[in-house]
Amino acid sequence: MKAIHISSILERLCIQNVSGTSPSITSFSPVDGKAIATVPITTRVDYEALVGKAGVAFSQWKQVPAPKRGEIVRQIGDALRLHKQDLGRLVSYEMGKSLQEGLGEVQEMIDICDFAVGLSRQLYGLTTQSERPAHRMFEQWLPLGIVGIISAFNFPVAVWSWNAAIAWVCGNVCLWKPSEKTPITALACQKIVSEIFNRNDLPQEISCLIQGDAELGKQMASDPRIPLLSATGSTRMGKSVAQAVAARLGRTILELGGNNAIIITPHADTKTALLASVFGAVGTAGQRCTTTRRLIIHESIYESFKVQLVDAYKQLKIGNPLDEANHVGPLIDEAAVNSYLEAIKRCKQEGGKFIVEGGVLKGDGYPSPCYVKPCIAEVEPHYKIVQQETFAPILYVMKYKDLEEAIAIQNNVPQGLSSAIMTLNLREAEHFLSVNGSDCGIANVNIGTSGAEIGGAFGGEKETGGGRESGSDAWKAYMRRQTNTINYSDKLPLAQGITFNL
């Protein structure tokens, strides 16, 4: 993609390059290594002022009826529709994912806005029966206040929207710290949203954007004015955030590492299994938390499926992600490339045999040092490198004898985000979904590990963090529950039959 096209997109999205500002962040595209734009870093003074304004905005926003808040979110969804093409291209260029995935990410924002609009009329409470006569007991859900959001580079805008759209209709205001690797897409979204709030005579601080590194995230985690902090990233980061927030008895939603597996049984539709495996492993260049990192294949079909897998990898096209003919774009930066190379080295040291070799791609068509080859290694499940998440297109394949062994292999990792089984056998499918099956937050049948719909609650178990975002009843995490009892009699009966007379 030519620089002039990016300049045009930035202009249409009202992104102005900041020069001579210190401190600042310059975003470089992994597609071609070129600078996209520079944005100022949020200083401590700026942060304090913004949090104060967010608190004031909350006092006004929470008074707006929930369906009216939903109407504002509907307008945000419509604005995102208008800017979908520009935003999708910017996501692709700044992060490095394919154009189709970039457009899909913007569509996720639109979809969660639609979901939140409906939700704004369904923030249900519960009426329960009181044991005391002439009493009514019920519960209601009330806004929390400022919801902090720390998002990762791999989904630079979608995961923010999962949190923000739901938090807004629940009556909260949001304070968003995007990854310092993808600040421009965040700024574009903030400008779109701010315009909607301004148009409706509402405080722009209902949506706040702060830019900075991990230190700014630590500041948010320690801030008692932020009752809920939703953080997406590595398990290491999540543990740090959890400790800081717990120390002040705050709440967290943590969506952390994944080490996702697909079990392929003798009863699988191999065509479906192959497509799911390849897309799951190489989509977003292996930089999804739901990326397929392990294939657990029955020994009776192992060799034949392996041949198909290797042949499919030969057909992959790697290059500029804005070229729709390419399947795989670059990794986010050179640090990610080094992690990829180190993982390959460690896998070989442990005895892994690469049936599709990896490596860094150079020469024509690869204008930055961030393009790598998706690779496949035959391994044993107990290898230490297999137990870890490497954010890169490295796929580990292994054999199993029976379904119990396959499920044990799948579950025997520290992470617990997404999982899948490929089978047309009803008993196998049901067993995989049973109490003795997958221990992950997401378990799919004849669908890969990657790609979740916004209607379902998203998140995982174990070192994935245990939080839930997006659909279902995940909205409850963004509100506080209050139990109410009303006595409409002229007496004061006590619970549990206790008497107290004066």
The residues, ordered by sequence, that sit 6+ positions from 326 with a Cβ below 8 Å of its Cβ are: 98, 317, 318, 319, 320
Closest C-alpha to 116, from 165, 80, 66: 165
The per-residue b/e assignment along 15-38, b for 16 or more CB within 10 angstroms, e otherwise, is beeeeeeeeebebebbbbeeebbb
The Cα-based distances of 225 to 42, 89, 219, 229, 480 in angstroms read 18, 36, 11, 10, 15
Distance separating alpha carbons of residues 405 and 409, to the nearest angstrom: 6
Distance separating alpha carbons of residues 375 and 347, to the nearest angstrom: 12
Determine the 3-state secondary structure of 265 from DSSP.
coil
The whole-angstrom distance between residue 464's C-alpha and the CA centroid of its chain comes to 11
Determine the 3-state secondary structure of 424 from DSSP.
coil
The Cα-based distances of 239 to 65, 243, 252 in angstroms read 36, 6, 11
Dihedral angle over CA of 205, 208, 210, 214, nearest 10: 130
Enzyme catalytic residues: 255
Distance separating alpha carbons of residues 235 and 222, to the nearest angstrom: 18
| Cβ–Cβ < 8 Å for 171, 61 | yes
Distance separating alpha carbons of residues 41 and 50, to the nearest angstrom: 13
Residue located via tokens 């990192």: 293
Cross-strand pairs, 142 = 480
Tokens representing residue 369 in the block: 């040092």
- Rounded to 10°, the helix 214-221/235-247 angle is 30
